[in-house]
Structure 1
Amino acid sequence: MTQRRKVGNILALALLSLLAPGEPLHPYEMARILRRTGKEQDMNIKVGSLYTVVQNLEKHGYIEAATTEREGRRPERTPYAITPAGREELTDWLGELVAVPQHEYPRFRAALSILGVLSPDRVVRLLRQRLEALNAESAAQREQLAAAGELPRVLLIEVEYTLAMREAEAAWVRGLLTEIEDETLSGVKEWRDYHQRGTRPPSVWKELLDTD
């Protein structure tokens, strides 16, 4: 079971990880490192909200100013260090993310849940377009791994994971395309009929509207 975090923005996790080695950093240095390491590709983070997250981390005792000198009280000139509470929060939060599967709502899943709004022929065209994009992304990630040379795999596992997910999705999309096109997908004939007639079959409406 996941915990409710005092600072739940995933950017907070990234910032705590930057401070974990023990070297104090200014917020502008944190932003620079996040950009240079491409963390926005790994996490849904918005660097524009960085100062707000820094303030919230300080408020809850996860980080602290490493010096009392604040030129004009400008937060970007204040270096911050992680506190013991911050280290505990970092390891607990990260451990939870690694160990506990979380139910998320990917946009593609949302689209699949109402796919019947589009005609089967249009869906086939769109899925082919998606498959082409997935294959291009996979090729780019394979190139990234190849260009990494002798870097230890532990530094590349997030790229390997993304590649594996892309390839698994591509395989599933190819299978779905085949089933739609050869009409072996259960319900595809009714789906086509719906778009030809413009109304749902009465039996479907009855099943959806029946109360217990």
Structure 2
Amino acid sequence: MRPERTVYQLTEAGERRLRDWVRLLLAEPDGNSTLFVPALTFAGVLTPGEVTAALRERRAELERREEAATAVPPELPRILVLEAEYEAARLHAESEWIGRVIDDLTAGTLDWPADPAALADIEALVKED
């Protein structure tokens, strides 16, 4: 007879790997945010300071890429640079949002539990009326 369910526990090595992975994905921009969104989901495994540092790194890279996207010869017809305009606008919007999150982290206004394990109990976090 099989057990009703199997419970797994994260090892210390697994926790280190998770934290490294989340930190890396928060810090390094990807082309379409496919990896950034899951990293945001798991950001709670890091400290607010670690998240702030990673997001500052990401924002600096976004600003560098935005500058590169806008560095097109002015004599080119606009139709040839629409893609670059779009990319610059996308990068700018992400950078601005990240700046607001960094401000909230720095000000201490972003709720952050002392124990990341507390985030696993969603029912306790969401109080029904």
Q: What TM-score results when the alignment is normalised by the length of structure 1?
A: 0.40
Does 2:65 align with 1:142?
no
Q: Who is 1:200 aligned against?
A: 118
Question: Identity of paired residues, percent?
Answer: 30
Of residues 71, 75, 78 in structure 2, which corresponds to 1:153?
Answer: 78
Does 2:110 align with 1:182?
no
User: Structure 1 residues 205 and 138, CA, compared in 2 at 3 Å: closer, same or farther?
Assistant: same
Of residues 65, 78, 95 in structure 2, which corresponds to 1:170?
Answer: 95
Segments of structure 2 that go 5 or more residues without pairing to the other structure are 1-30, 125-129
Segments of structure 1 that go 5 or more residues without pairing to the other structure are 1-43, 45-103
Secondary structure (helix, strand or coil) at the match of 1:200 reads: helix
Does 2:43 align with 1:111?
no
Q: CA deviation at 1:113?
A: 1.3
Task: State how 1:5-20 maps to structure 2 within 5 Å.
Answer: none
User: Partners of 2:108 and 2:63 in 1: how far apart?
Assistant: 25
User: Structure 1 residues 112 and 136, CA, compared in 2 at 3 Å: closer, same or farther?
Assistant: same
User: Partners of 2:58 and 2:103 in 1: how far apart?
Assistant: 14
Q: Who is 2:9 aligned against?
A: none
Q: CA deviation at 1:200?
A: 2.1
Secondary structure (helix, strand or coil) at the match of 1:184 reads: coil
Q: CA deviation at 1:126?
A: 0.4
Count matched residues.
Answer: 94
Q: CA RMSD in A?
A: 2.3
Secondary structure (helix, strand or coil) at the match of 2:121 reads: helix
Q: CA deviation at 1:138?
A: 0.9
Q: What TM-score results when the alignment is normalised by the length of structure 2?
A: 0.64
- Report runs of 4+ in structure 1 exceeding 4 Å deviation: none
User: Partners of 1:128 and 1:165 in 2: how far apart?
Assistant: 17
User: Partners of 1:132 and 1:125 in 2: how far apart?
Assistant: 11
